[in-house]
């Protein structure tokens, strides 16, 4: 079991805070991400509709619920961009390299986000809640990225 330091706790708390900014209609799907290198926050991201597109909150319904799509399937049928994707996109727009960084995220990344994380050069992922996507874990493992399930009761 991993031993968590005060910085891991701080950045996971920050991911939890960023998740509250989500425009996702489902409260249990509000996801936040913080990308850090050398104890410095590089970018943050939360799940929500692209700029200029009305969110599910604004529309008053979740497209995935309307279509009865299970979690972990058909990610393309959602107005939201994932938190990890938004954090990586923000870094690209600002010209910030993510090489060697750590991603703190409220939820385990999906396979699409995992591919982006690999190509962005992120070397460590810390997440709180699991996600039903074994393929994502396979991609992360093959790429040699450290992935850790954050369990705060195992702190140092």
For residues 127 and 131, give the distance between their C-alpha atoms in angstroms, rounded to a whole number: 10
Q: Does residue 84 have an active-site annotation?
A: yes
Name beta bridge partners: 103. 35, 125
Q: Is 62 left (phi over 0), alpha (psi -120 to 50) or beta?
A: beta
13, 58, 61, 84: the catalytic one is: 84
Report pLDDT digits (tens) over 66-119.
Answer: 999 887 788 788 888 999 999 999 999 999 999 999 999 999 999 999 999 999
Report pLDDT digits (tens) over 19-62.
Answer: 999 988 776 789 999 999 999 999 999 999 999 999 888 888 88
Name beta bridge partners: 44. 34
pTM for this structure?
0.91
Q: Radius of gyration (Cα) for the chain, nearest Å?
A: 15
């Amino acid at each position: 079991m991993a031993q968590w330091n005060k910085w891991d706790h701080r950045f996971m708390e920050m991911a939890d805070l960023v998740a509250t900014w989500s425009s996702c209609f489902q409260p249990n799907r509000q996801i936040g991400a913080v990308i850090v290198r050398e104890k410095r926050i590089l970018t943050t991201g939360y799940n929500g509709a692209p700029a200029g597109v009305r969110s599910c909150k604004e529309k008053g319904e979740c497209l995935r619920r309307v279509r009865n799509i299970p979690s972990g399937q058909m990610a393309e049928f959602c107005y939201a961009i994932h938190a990890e994707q938004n954090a990586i996109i923000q870094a690209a727009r600002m010209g910030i390299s993510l090489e060697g960084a750590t991603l703190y995220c409220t939820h385990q990344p999906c396979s699409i986000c995992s591919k982006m994380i690999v190509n962005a050069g992120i070397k460590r992922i810390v997440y709180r809640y699991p996600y039903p996507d074994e393929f994502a874990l396979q991609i992360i493992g093959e790429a040699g990225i450290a992935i850790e399930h954050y369990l705060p009761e195992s702190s140092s």
